[in-house]
Amino acid sequence: MPPTGFHHVELWVADLALVEPSWSWLLGELGWELYQNWPAGRSWRIGDMYLVVEQSSAVRPGLPYDRLRAGLNHLAVHAPDRGTVDRIQAAGPANGWQHLFADSYPHAGGAEHYAAYLADTAGFEVEVVAPAERGPDLAG
């Protein structure tokens, strides 16, 4: 059976120059590689998935993006370990990300969920999730 999951995700932004540095930093920290680079956009990939951030000429003018309106609320991405989540949480503000739910970091998603919640300057939220810790092996 072929793999399932996302092939790619495309975020349309009003100002690529405003958000590209923060996305480039975050995805680079998570091991994503720059995949495509053109005047109106960038894409990064990891494995066979990729993420596009594009300032498309087809974007309709109007209200700015609001993650609390109908549509995309946030992207959740895997981190390889808790140390990476901690490093991203610590360095996020210096790289264009603001903390969300900082008062309950790293367990804003619950006691068993270890994640950083960040928003870029355009308001897009990313949840950086560490793998669940495995308990002691109780077999045998």
Average pLDDT (11-21) is: 94
Predicted local confidence at residue 37, as pLDDT: 97
CB–CB of 52/8 below 8 Å? yes
Predicted local confidence at residue 137, as pLDDT: 54
How far apart, in whole angstroms, are the C-alpha atoms of residue 61 and residue 63? 7
Identify whether 42 is part of a domain: yes
74: nearest Cα among 30, 28, 127: 127
State the Rg of the chain over Cα: 16
Residue-wise pLDDT for 29-42, tens only, equals 999 999 999 999 99
CB–CB of 30/76 below 8 Å? no
Residue-wise pLDDT for 101-136, tens only, equals 999 999 999 999 999 999 999 999 999 999 998 765
- How many CA within 13 A on the CB side of residue 19? 25
Identify whether 19 is part of a domain: yes
Identify whether 122 is part of a domain: yes
- In this prediction the pTM is 0.89
Identify whether 49 is part of a domain: yes
Q: In a 3-state reduction of DSSP, which class is residue 128?
A: strand
Identify whether 61 is part of a domain: no
| Percentage above 70 pLDDT, the chain | 94
The total number of structural domains that make up the chain:
1
Identify whether 46 is part of a domain: yes
Predicted local confidence at residue 140, as pLDDT: 44
Q: Return the CATH number at 12.
A: 3.10.180.10
27: nearest Cα among 45, 7, 54, 40: 45
| Domain span holding position 77 | 8-56+73-129
Predicted local confidence at residue 5, as pLDDT: 81
